[in-house]
Structure 1
Amino acid sequence: MSEFKQLVFSGVQPTGNLHLGNYLGALQKFVALQDTYECIYCVVDLHSLTATLVHDDLADQTRGIAAAYLASGLDPKKNIIFNQARVPQHAELAWIFNCVARIGWMNRMTQFKDKAGKDRENASLGLLAYPSLMASDILLYRATHVPVGEDQKQHLELTRDIAQKFNNDFSKRISALGYGVEMEVGEERVSGFFPLTEPLIEGPATRVMSLRDGTKKMSKSDPSDLSRINLSDDADAISRKIRKAKTDPNPLPGDVEGLAGRPEAENLVGIYAALAGVPRDQVISEYGGRQFSDFKPALADLAVEKLAPINAEMRRISADPAYVDGVLRDGGERAGARAEATMKQVHEIIGLLAD
């Protein structure tokens, strides 16, 4: 019996400008992964409807995320790059997974609780079922790995739960049709149609915090533009925001342990380490004991060096929307062929007459 081919899937919502946290936590890793794995990268435009139903510029925002993918170094020939709405099987499989998943599973999702707040009865059904669509995004291509941050681990665990329940519920039909693929579950080897997707979490700064409050994650929804470095920021804006970043009055500590209880210092050191591609203790060995008035200019220069070329390339690519649309169209066709093959087998497993 065959094993699942290693495949990476990930996606970014087209809601607002991408920022430094998106680059260090996602895009930079995407680029590194394309040399090791077969990768599918999606602009998850259907997911964006859970945040804002009515968009004035959803098409342009979708192109903007695709331009950021390309400007960061993703090769559209080596990877499949597309937007979710081009492949209707995402929504079809999500409905099937809505019937597989349990309401209790969805109610436990931390992000739903955070986003719905106290007025949960007024939250959209889409917001509640968001993780089911996320599971369909991943499992439609039978992806074995997903690069995720800490805040997405729970959703990936739910994806695994959905895959395992589907595999268990339809185990006899999967076996009879010969569609089972071997995988390791703990110390056992079992067979199933969908893989139990594994997270890829690595790097010195998987979670980048706000420049105005080191206890909060850097976010494109933060009302203060000074809280984040946007990938669309020019060199002057990048330098200004780092100069204005909140710090405490003490110099940088002499060792990494000294960053404990100093969230802003820890955040800036982590950003430097991630941009430079070095461990945090190497940054501390160079700048430990020095004031932020010495460290911030060095961080600003490094950030401009790394981000300014991406900014310039994003502007160049975005000026040619026909090219971006062509990349998304080609990627959609390639993704659609895979999705159609998966759903043909899902229809047979479930017993749906869909030919």
Structure 2
Amino acid sequence: MEKMLTGIRSTGIPHLGNILGVIIPSISIANKKAKHSSFIFIADLHSMVQIENIKIIKNNTYQIAAAWLAFGLDIDNCLFYRQSDVSYVTELAWYFNCFYPYQRLALSHAFKKNKMKEIEKISVGLFTYPILMAADILLYNAKIIPVGKDQLQHIEIARRIAYFFNKKIGKKLFVLPNAFLQKKNMFVLGTDGKKMSKSQKNYINIFSSDEVLKKQIMSIRTDSKSVEEKKDPETDYIMSLYSLIAPLEKIEIMKKRYLKGGYGYFEAKVALYEYIIHKFSSERKKFFSFMKNKPLLDHILALGAKKAKSIAHERLNWIRKHLKFNSID
């Protein structure tokens, strides 16, 4: 039975790119798989490399939990938990730190990108970020890992760690994980045409108020063509986002309007806004309802953590045995 695992960092409310690229496809897999073969966690430990204020991370965690639940995650079928509640993962990460070559880890894209800027501000946590991510995956021997395109290198590092560790110990302790990509949603454009990202502030948050959501959509960058001029639907950012969420017949109607002319970008933005409000109306209501009941969110995450701990405890004892350490009581 192949296990599936994925997580989102506690850096804020999941934006449209997170929802289309990770949340919806992950829920689709998790709700169909055998009971307790899917692991979905909120990566609050990973978030510490970016956010130092624990109160902010905690509130972000509630928002992410509410988003997953609003989109219909079946918590009776999968293990849904807060990363920091299963501390066994940090022990496994330490073992990987001690076995994995420094030089290979230094090739990580995230580290190299930040190294070019201000190396004196880079934490050890940022450098070893892929190691903790590998521990998240390999602790449960997860095989299917839904990720965005930008996370492919991290999955490859996890595969190398599994292979390297297995070879060092002489036992197949870990299966090699595989990235699962939704081809249609691998790369969701932000309002500026670049990859949608909170750090770039080019995201669309469907859980915003109507006013804020409309403002975000109206900020989508366009060219200077007039209403009367024909427009290219293949290069337009509004059309790109609309095509990811609307049914085929609506997409074709908007394409024809672009190619015919007499259809302005303002009208296209209004159409995108109205369709988002329509398509995600139920999820928006559920999200706000969950956010008003944080004790319920704590209870749900605690139940998931209890199940995950039981599995992680058994797995880590198995790993400890092959490392010649004593078992955990």
- 1:202 paired with 2:207, answer no
Unpaired runs of 5+ residues, structure 2, are none
The two structures, once aligned, show a CA RMSD in angstroms of 2.1
C-alpha deviation, 1:128, in angstroms: 0.2
C-alpha deviation, 1:282, in angstroms: 4.8
Q: Report if the CA contact (8 A) 2:189-2:241 is conserved.
A: no
Q: Report if the CA contact (8 A) 2:31-2:74 is conserved.
A: no
Q: Report if the CA contact (8 A) 1:205-1:274 is conserved.
A: yes
Q: Report if the CA contact (8 A) 1:238-1:303 is conserved.
A: no
C-alpha deviation, 1:199, in angstroms: 0.8
Partner of 2:246: 276
Matched AA of 1:7: K
**1:204 partner SS:** helix
Measured in 1, the distance between the counterparts of 2:52 and 2:115 equals 15
> Number of aligned pairs?
318
1:345 to 293, 318, 327: 318
Q: Report if the CA contact (8 A) 2:144-2:177 is conserved.
A: yes
Q: 1:238 to 1:55 in 2, by over 3 A?
A: same
Measured in 1, the distance between the counterparts of 2:50 and 2:270 equals 36
- 1:76 paired with 2:75, answer yes
Matched AA of 1:89: Y
Measured in 1, the distance between the counterparts of 2:13 and 2:281 equals 15
Partner of 1:101: 100
Measured in 1, the distance between the counterparts of 2:96 and 2:52 equals 22
2:280 to 293, 307, 316: 307
1:238 to 213, 233, 250: 213
C-alpha deviation, 1:268, in angstroms: 2.5
Q: 1:29 to 1:196 in 2, by over 3 A?
A: same
Measured in 2, the distance between the counterparts of 1:25 and 1:277 equals 17
Q: 1:131 to 1:277 in 2, by over 3 A?
A: farther
Q: 1:55 to 1:339 in 2, by over 3 A?
A: same
**2:49 partner SS:** coil
Matched AA of 2:231: L
C-alpha deviation, 1:116, in angstroms: 4.1
**1:146 partner SS:** strand
Measured in 2, the distance between the counterparts of 1:194 and 1:288 equals 52
C-alpha deviation, 1:286, in angstroms: 4.4
Partner of 1:9: 5
Pairs within 5 Å for 1:1-355: 5-37=1-33, 38-171=37-170, 174=171, 192-211=172-191, 213-214=192-193, 216-222=194-200, 224=201, 227-250=202-225, 251-253=230-232, 259=234, 262=235, 265=236, 267-276=237-246, 278=248, 282=252, 285-289=255-259, 290=261, 291=263, 292-355=265-328
Measured in 2, the distance between the counterparts of 1:165 and 1:28 equals 33
Matched AA of 2:84: A
Q: Report if the CA contact (8 A) 1:44-1:83 is conserved.
A: yes
Q: Which runs of 4+ in 1 moved over 6 A?
A: none
Compute the TM-score of the two structures, normalised by the length of structure 2: 0.90
C-alpha deviation, 1:299, in angstroms: 1.5
Q: Report if the CA contact (8 A) 1:71-1:310 is conserved.
A: yes
C-alpha deviation, 1:27, in angstroms: 1.1
Measured in 2, the distance between the counterparts of 1:144 and 1:112 equals 25
Q: 1:138 to 1:300 in 2, by over 3 A?
A: same
Q: 1:204 to 1:288 in 2, by over 3 A?
A: farther
Measured in 2, the distance between the counterparts of 1:230 and 1:170 equals 46
**1:52 partner SS:** coil
Matched AA of 1:274: L
Moved more, 307-316 or 154-163: 307-316
Q: Report if the CA contact (8 A) 1:17-1:220 is conserved.
A: no
Measured in 2, the distance between the counterparts of 1:341 and 1:330 equals 18
Measured in 1, the distance between the counterparts of 2:287 and 2:127 equals 34
C-alpha deviation, 1:65, in angstroms: 1.1
**2:54 partner SS:** coil
**1:99 partner SS:** helix
Moved more, 345-354 or 238-247: 238-247
C-alpha deviation, 1:278, in angstroms: 4.8
Measured in 2, the distance between the counterparts of 1:293 and 1:45 equals 39
Matched AA of 1:303: I
Measured in 2, the distance between the counterparts of 1:308 and 1:203 equals 26
Q: Report if the CA contact (8 A) 2:88-2:313 is conserved.
A: yes
